[in-house]
Amino acid sequence: MSVFKGDRINIELVGGSHDEEMILKMCGTPSFDLDMEKINDYLERRKPSGEFQTQRRESDIPEFKKGLINGRIDGDIEVSVKNREIKKEDYDRLYGKPRPSHADYCQFVKDGDPDFSGGGRFSGRLTVLYCVAGGVAASYLEKKGIKIKGEIISVGKAKKDAAEFSAEVLKELNEAKENSDSVGAVIECVAKGVPAGLGNDYFEGIEGKISSLVYAIPGVKGVEFGKGFAISELKGSEANDQWRYDGGKAVTETNNSGGINGGITNGMPIVLKVAFKPTPSIGKPQKTIDLLSGENTTIEIKGRHDVCFALRAVPVVESAVAIALLDELLKVEEGSTVKDLRAELDKIDDDLRDLFLRRMKISGAIGRLKAQNGDKILSEERERAILKRVTKGLNEKDAEIINKLYEEIFHLSRKEQKNL
């Protein structure tokens, strides 16, 4: 399970590549008439086709279990997508042998699980859910005049500005396939119609929010806005986007900053580039380790894999940008109606629940350590220190409320530890 907690939108992805079902949960979306064709478009463009892409061909039909009534989004969303084309036997020989540049070894360190079948929860297969969420977000944004469009601008060493880009791309793909290898790619994404004023300074910057959602896409290794790294080679006089009025609207002569200054949109198109690594599943022999025997070994990866999986990632990048912009736009549009305020309360309640359960889990771990060491459960000095810290700077009324809340939390924590 992976969770994005935005300022207004929460997204939860549940499942793995070889699970029978994957689930998307999306909370905080406004009520509006959904353009289902936007979701279908994202899913269709993500599907594999042709000789250079995986032969795993899923139907990818989203089933709305919750939140869609007569074509209208109304409340929290829950969507199911089934996996049908599962071939776990392709991974039998790889049990306990982490594939180079996959998440396998890190998964083992994190979870202790040596079964890397299909990549599990780290698999790009879950980007199907990402596209559903992105389609919902993009459908709302387009009603507000915001359109997002991505395209492949390089594959391997083939660049879009070349005279014969398509031919060079085909050459890169053919050479990689013939050599049991793979190539990476770069996607450029542009969002037009974005109003000025979305985002904020430092930790609340729109670049950071977009980047966090883009980096959640498996295989992404670089994100840059506007001129990106190339801007460091320019003089200030060359890099600066100078302002002028055009029909009463403030615009810039150039867009080297990619539509963002100080973490806030400036009204120009948002432009970003996303670098994808080559598909790590290749047929060449590769060195790895056997986690079960503790020995060095080699593997050759069989099965169904893309020569360049980034070719199918354009709608996934568009989805990431759409989700980030929707989350920011809702902050601006939000009114003080009872429904809006209750939605915000619901989000806070969800956050409080998750944080409280996490705190109780940690309390349980402390209780087990105390029991092993023969220490007493109650630590009055520790509790006093916590109360002093959490009420620091509060007025008398708020401090009293927080004191009462933490007295109950301390009571439940002690009870949890005593029950171990």
pLDDT digits (tens, 9 = 90+) for 385-402: 899 898 887 888 888 999
Token reading at 15: 């499942």
In the chain the domains, ranked by start, together with CATH numbers, are: 2-334 (3.60.150.10), 341-418 (1.20.59.10)
In the chain, the amino acid numbered 353 is R
The more confident residue out of 381 and 192 is: 192
Identify the pLDDT of residue 336. 46
**Region 188-217 average pLDDT:** 97
Identify the pLDDT of residue 55. 66
pLDDT tens digits, one per residue of 250-270: 999 999 999 999 999 999 999
Identify the pLDDT of residue 369. 81
φ, ψ of residue 245 to 5 degrees: the values are -95, 140
Token reading at 254: 């150039």
Q: Report yes or no on whether pTM surpasses 0.75.
A: yes
Average pLDDT, the chain: 90
For residues 291 and 246, give the distance between their C-alpha atoms in angstroms, rounded to a whole number.
63
Token reading at 4: 């994005």
For residues 259 and 299, give the distance between their C-alpha atoms in angstroms, rounded to a whole number.
46
Q: Please tell me the total number of residues recorded for the chain in this structure.
A: 420
What count of Cα atoms within 13 Å lies in the side-chain half-sphere of residue 244? Answer: 7
Model confidence band, residue 13 (pLDDT cutoffs 50, 70, 90): very high
Identify the pLDDT of residue 175. 96
For residues 184 and 311, give the distance between their C-alpha atoms in angstroms, rounded to a whole number.
9
Q: Which residues contact 17 (CB under 8 A, 6 or more apart)?
A: 83, 117, 118, 119, 120, 123, 125, 126
For residues 331 and 313, give the distance between their C-alpha atoms in angstroms, rounded to a whole number.
28
DSSP 160-210: TTSTTHHHHHHHHHHHHHHTT----EEEEEEEESPPTT-B-SGGG-HHHHH
Model confidence band, residue 287 (pLDDT cutoffs 50, 70, 90): very high
> Assign residue 79 a region: left if phi > 0, alpha if psi is -120 to 50, beta otherwise?
beta
Model confidence band, residue 123 (pLDDT cutoffs 50, 70, 90): confident
* pLDDT at residue 222 tops 60: yes
* pLDDT at residue 377 tops 70: no
**Region 238-242 average pLDDT:** 98
Q: What is the DSSP letter of 99?
A: P
Identify the pLDDT of residue 270. 98
